[in-house]
Amino acid sequence: MIRYTWIAGLIAAASAFMILNISKGASSAPLFYAIFTGLRFSLIGFVNVWIIILVDKHMSSATLKGKRFVRYTAGYLFSMVLCFCTAPLELYLSLPVSISLNPLERIESILVQGFINNSLVIIVQNIVILRYEKTNTDLENSRLRVANLESANLLLKQQIHPHFLFNALSMLKSLYKTDVRAGEAYLSHLVNFFRASLVEQQSQISLLQEEIKLCNDYLEMQKIRFEDALLCTIDIPDHVLLRGAVPPFSIQSLIENAIKHNEVTECSPLMISVFYKDDRIIIENNLQLRTHIDGPSGKGLINLIERYRILSDEEVIIRQDNKKFSVSIKVLSNEAGDHRR
């Protein structure tokens, strides 16, 4: 606010200088009068700033109207007293017409001048205060928005694993009864998967390279379970893997979704393709829908759509025909924070 007070004082001085130069019969010392006007205006501004600080400090419990009344009253009183005290110097420096005024007119002129000066100062300062409050409000709203988005995103991420964990433990129990070596391999991949999961839970986005590692551990577990009945290919360029990002578990959850909703048998293998095209990752599978699905259906896709809405506003594109089902997700930039355009 001090800076704006100096600027307003310079504008007042420049305005006075131009008016004196344009007016006929002007003072012979327009520069000194302009400097005098600017300094007086600045002094009124600085005193008003001081009044604002004192009012906020000593009237913290008062209402806004009460604070404004004290602030405006003190400001106008000081402005008029200052104009009276500096009137002789102003009379000496000002236009000749000022000399011709009678005492009553001169007093009225000083009062009006004090009122106008302080009114202009108050207008400038109120604009600065409103701008400052708006900036603070916008900043606070932005912080609340980020906090809400992070909370919502964390809540959605926490919904991902319960169903998978139940199935994994059931599968592990079954393997240890029939094939200990396969059970140990399955357990190793399960540990890797959950170790990566703990890291990914802390971030809003995951590097594609890390997401694919997660998917590979998940797929190895599923291949132990389904053997040749499950075929999956992943074809993503190295530069995309190193620089691109997606929401954590997004690709893995789509692969899991394909296995959950389709028949997986050796005579009719489930074929899943994960590939890159036009800045998007596409997860595609042949369609051979199950007649019965364990657990809730459709929540995984709804979850992913909601997470993309929170992070980037990018659309999750879902396509289905008689033979294939595919989901296309946007590759995000590898940067923290909001990925909206």
Under 8 Å between Cβ of 242 and 292: no
Q: How far is 267 from 288, CA to CA, in rounded Å?
A: 12
Question: How many folded domains does the chain comprise?
Answer: 2
In the chain, what percentage of residues exceed pLDDT 70? Answer: 72
> Domain check: are 283 and 171 in the same one?
yes
Phi-psi region of 25 (alpha: psi -120 to 50; beta: other; left: phi over 0): left
> Domain check: are 101 and 209 in the same one?
no
Each residue of 184-223: pLDDT tens digit? 888 888 888 878 777 665 677 889 999 999 899 889 989 9
Confidence band for 26, pLDDT divided at 50, 70 and 90? very low
Confidence band for 110, pLDDT divided at 50, 70 and 90? confident
- Show the domain range for 127: 2-150
Under 8 Å between Cβ of 262 and 289: yes
Q: How far is 8 from 10, CA to CA, in rounded Å?
A: 5
Could you say which DSSP state residue 227 is in? G
> Domain check: are 204 and 117 in the same one?
no
Please give the angle made by the CA atoms of 314, 318 and 320, to the nearest 5 degrees. 165
Q: How far is 187 from 175, CA to CA, in rounded Å?
A: 10
Alpha carbons within 13 A on the beta-carbon side of 127:
8
> Domain check: are 192 and 143 in the same one?
no
> Domain check: are 99 and 31 in the same one?
yes
CA distances from 304 to 161, 198, 252, 319 (A): 13, 19, 11, 15
Res 23 pLDDT > 60 = no
Domain boundary among the residues 150, 179, 201 is at 150
Q: Which amino acid is at 79?
A: S
Q: Considering the domain boundaries, does residue 339 fall inside one?
A: no
Under 8 Å between Cβ of 239 and 208: no
Give the global pTM: 0.54
For residue 287, give the CATH number of its domain.
3.30.565
Each residue of 227-256: pLDDT tens digit? 899 999 999 999 999 999 998 888 988 998
